[in-house]
Structures are given as structure tokens and as C-alpha cells.
Amino acid sequence: MKILLLGANGQLGAELNRQLPLIAETKAYTHSKLDITDTQAVIEAISSFEPNVIVNTAAYTAVDKAEEEKALAYAINSDAVAVLAQQAAKQGAWLIHYSTDYIFDGGKTTPYTEIDTPNPINVYGASKLAGEEFITTSNCNHLIFRTTWVIGKDGKNFAKTILRLATQQDSLSVISDQYGVPTSPSLITNVTIDAIKAIKKQRAWPSGAYNLVPLGISTWHEVAQTLITIAEENSVPLAISATDILAITTAEYLTPAKRPLNSRLETQKLSRQLSFHLPNWKDDFSAVAAEVIKEFK
Ligand SMILES: NC(=O)c1ccc[n+]([C@@H]2O[C@H](COP(=O)([O-])OP(=O)(O)OC[C@H]3O[C@@H](n4cnc5c(N)ncnc54)[C@H](OP(=O)(O)O)[C@@H]3O)[C@@H](O)[C@H]2O)c1
């Protein structure tokens, strides 16, 4: 079993790069070693290594900036993904790819299932949806894991921003009307490894999209409060306490890109395949928070 990993220094890519070599021969490329928009380089990387599984974590993830960098967002999240899907089909490799709740408009009042109709409300979501569509029409064996609010110990993310602000400012406002859950790169990695082990045992999960988030429901405000509470319990020097974090609405915090109010994803389809139970978001996030606060102690 050979695995080709792309985007190996992102939040998710870095965690996969630590774990995948423990289960199979893995060739990992960071952005600087392989730009996935360089079609010839991608074809060469795939045809020379002949992977059984291509794991693509490379993505344009700057949601607000994508509104003005539409061509670049589509080049990375859609056109490059089309090439990966074509090459996977040609080589008979599986393509494991990651997508987002931002393919939905957030107008549904219950969690989104894999068969709900997408309707992105920002460029990032539309570019990720276009990437998904190239995969599903390519005839390659594939797993698309749709996840939300990825927060881990690597790279820039919401938790690091909140902690930094909480050490500097005595007031902090966080959105409380967008519903979803944070998802750790560790959880996404564990699910990816479970799926790869199934491929290895010739018991591959059916090709398609799978929602991949921990259980429960939360808001950005609750995630921020949970993080600062853990920081307080661990004596991180802070300028604000968890209970002082103000709850604001999306309408009070305007951003270039619109965000869905409902980011909840239904995970029954994934749970039917998994060899382990999905954790509750607070357990999943607490492990990340414990790592992130170390940088601020
Ligand atoms: N972050 C979230 O909240 C979130 C939520 C839902 C779904 N997702 C999806 O989950 C996956 C992983 O996200 P993440 O949080 O790990 O993202 P991330 O931390 O932004 O990592 C993305 C990686 O892709 C690399 N990259 C960007 N353009 C590239 C290119 N042209 N060629 C090769 N590599 C390139 C980046 O490298 P540089 O930094 O060097 O440019 C970075 O290492 C993505 O598919 C994302 O869409 C993320």
C-alpha cells in the first residue's frame, strides 16, 4: 500500500504526515515541494510513485480573501482537484479529499445530510463544491470527507487567534448565531486511517461524500468560552475571563464572505462504516485546546 499526501504542512496535512507513515509507505508533498495547480508536476508525481491512495489536503482556505481571489480559489479547489481525480482514475488509485459545510447555504433548520442539495453562499464554498463535482463525475474511487471548523495545534486557526486576543484585550466579542462544531485534525486523521485500512483489506467503503464532524452542537462563542475556561484552569495569563466574552450576531460582525448560520452535519452515514465511535465535540476539542494553550503559558 502506497499513499501520496498533498498539502502536508496545513493543519490537517501536518497531522496526516505524522500518522500515515505508521500504516503505509507515504510520500508527502508540502506546497513548496508540489503546487497542485502545476498539472505536469502533479502527473509526474503520481505516475512515478504509483500510489494506491492519493490524500489531498491541499486547499485554498482563506474564506474572505477568496471573494477577491476567485480565480486562484477555483484553480486550487476545483481545477487542480479535477486533475487529481483524472489521474486517480487513470492509475486505479483511490482519491481521499476533504470538503466543507460551506457548500450549503445554512438555511436548513436541522443537520445537513450527504444527499441535501448544496447551495454555496461564498466563493470558497462554490470552489470547493466545484472540486467535489469533478471528483464525482471522474469515475475514480473516492471518499470526500465534508468537515467543519477545523482547529488543531498546527497552523493558524480560531483557537490561536482567540487565545492571543484574550491575552491582550479586556473585551472580546464572538459570534453566537452560527451553529456547528470544531473538528480536530486528529479526528479527521483517525477517520482517514480507518478508511485506508478498509481499502487495504479489500473492504473499501462505498465511494461518495461522508460528513465528518464530532457529535453535538456548538457556536463559535461557546467554543471560545470552552477554550478560555481550559486556559484559565491551566493558569494561562489572560486579560479576560471566559464569562466576559460577549456574544454577538453575524449581522453585527460583517465579513467579505457570507457564512452559513447552520453548519451542522449529520454523521450517520460515516458512523455506519467507522470501526470506532465519533467523540463529542468537547472531548475532541479539549485535547486540541490543551496543546494550543502550551504556546501561551
Ligand atoms: N480550516 C477549516 O476550518 C476547514 C473547514 C472545513 C473544511 N476544510 C477543508 O479541510 C481541508 C484541510 O484544511 P486545513 O484546515 O488543513 O487547511 P490549511 O491549514 O489552510 O492547509 C491547506 C494547505 O494547502 C496548501 N496549499 C495551498 N495552495 C496549494 C497549492 N496550490 N498546492 C499545494 N498546496 C497548497 C497550503 O500551503 P501554504 O500554507 O504553504 O499555502 C496548506 O499547507 C481542506 O480541504 C479544507 O477546504 C477546512
Query: Measuring from atom 30 of ligand 1, which residue has the nearest CA?
Result: 35
pLDDT tops 90 at residue 155: no
**Catalytic (active site) residue 124:** yes
Angle CA 253–120–71, to nearest 5 = 90
In a domain, 200, yes or no: yes
Distance 66 CA to ligand 1 centre (A): 13
Residue 143 lies in domain = 2-155+183-215+266-279
- Number of domains making up the chain: 1
CA distance 295 to 63: 26
In a domain, 206, yes or no: yes
CATH number where 46 lies: 3.40.50.720
Per-residue pLDDT at 156: 87
Per-residue pLDDT at 296: 87
The model's pLDDT over 45-70, given as tens digits with 9 standing for 90+, comes to 999 999 999 999 999 999 999 999 99
The model's pLDDT over 90-107, given as tens digits with 9 standing for 90+, comes to 999 999 999 999 999 999
Set 60, 98, 102, 124: catalytic member? 124
Per-residue pLDDT at 144: 98
pLDDT tops 90 at residue 194: yes
In a domain, 99, yes or no: yes
In a domain, 82, yes or no: yes
Whether the CB of 263 sits within 6 Å of ligand 1: no
CA distance 96 to 5: 10
Distance 13 CA to ligand 1 centre (A): 8
How many other C-beta atoms lie within 10 A of the C-beta of residue 287? 15
User: pTM higher than 0.95 for the full model?
Assistant: yes
